[in-house]
Chain A
Amino acid sequence: DIVVTQSPDSLAVSLGERATINCKSSQSLLYSSDNKNYLAWYQQKPGQPPKLLIYWASARQTGVPDRFSGSGSGTDFTLTISSLQAEDVAVYYCQQYYSTPRTFGRGTRVEVK
């Protein structure tokens, strides 16, 4: 199974500042046949289901604000919130969909400092 490791477990960022979350997989998520990284990012607010933010490591889902961006390739990926807003307080998960079982990171809790 592919292990997905997120860091940090939590972070506190001032409003308007940048938040960066890292995700590392135990094997490459880059599929050679299509040159795509099979990595997604989800946001989960309290009492709500997960919401897809980013797929193919860097493609923003429709309706997601452009302050959210994903980067990386192979085994190392990053989710960046360029200017934290109060409504961004949530737990963020990365997930690999390169192979089954699909595996999630343990989540990163983002709070306002």
Chain B
Amino acid sequence: QVQVVESGGGVVQPGRSLRLSCVASGFTFSSYGMHWVRQAPGKGLEWVAAIWHDATNKYYADSVKGRFIISRDNSKNTLYLQLNSLRAEDTALYYCAREDESVMDVWGRGTTVTVSS
């Protein structure tokens, strides 16, 4: 079935880095744009970044611009999010989502990132 599965979260100290992965299955990954969305504990949804199906365009929220990098490997059906210079306020559950007809229609269960000393 159509699904995306995130991994790579963990506990990391402020200022350190982490790379999240999102493996897609059940659909032609290379045909779809992809997004990362995060949710801080007890809070709402915050869009983080997006990438076109062919990686020619990438977009970031101001809160992560210059620190996070979105990328993809279509040969591996995998989306990535490189998190650098992490801050306490980056602590959240990070979701990967597929974009179809501009809307995020398939979401993973998320991977948790905790930034703490």
| Chain A interface residues (CB < 8 Å from chain B) | 38, 40, 42, 44, 48-52, 55-56, 61, 91, 93, 95, 97, 100-107
Q: Which residues from chain A contact B102 at a C-beta distance below 8 Å?
A: 38, 97
Separation of A46 and B37 alpha carbons in the complex (Å): 17
Q: Are B105's CB and A102's CB within 8 A? A: no
Give the interface residue-count category, chain B: 20 to 34
Q: Are B108's CB and A102's CB within 8 A? A: no
- Surface stretch bound by A, among B20-28, B44-52, B72-80: B44-52
Q: Are A97's CB and B107's CB within 8 A? A: no
Q: Check A101/B61 contact, CB under 8 A, given A52-B105, A55-B103.
A: yes
Q: Check A104/B109 contact, CB under 8 A, given A38-B102, A40-B103.
A: no
Q: Are B44's CB and A50's CB within 8 A? A: no
Q: Check A51/B61 contact, CB under 8 A, given A101-B47, A104-B46.
A: no
Q: Which residues from chain A contact B107 at a C-beta distance below 8 Å?
A: 49-52
Q: Which residues from chain A contact B37 at a C-beta distance below 8 Å?
A: 50
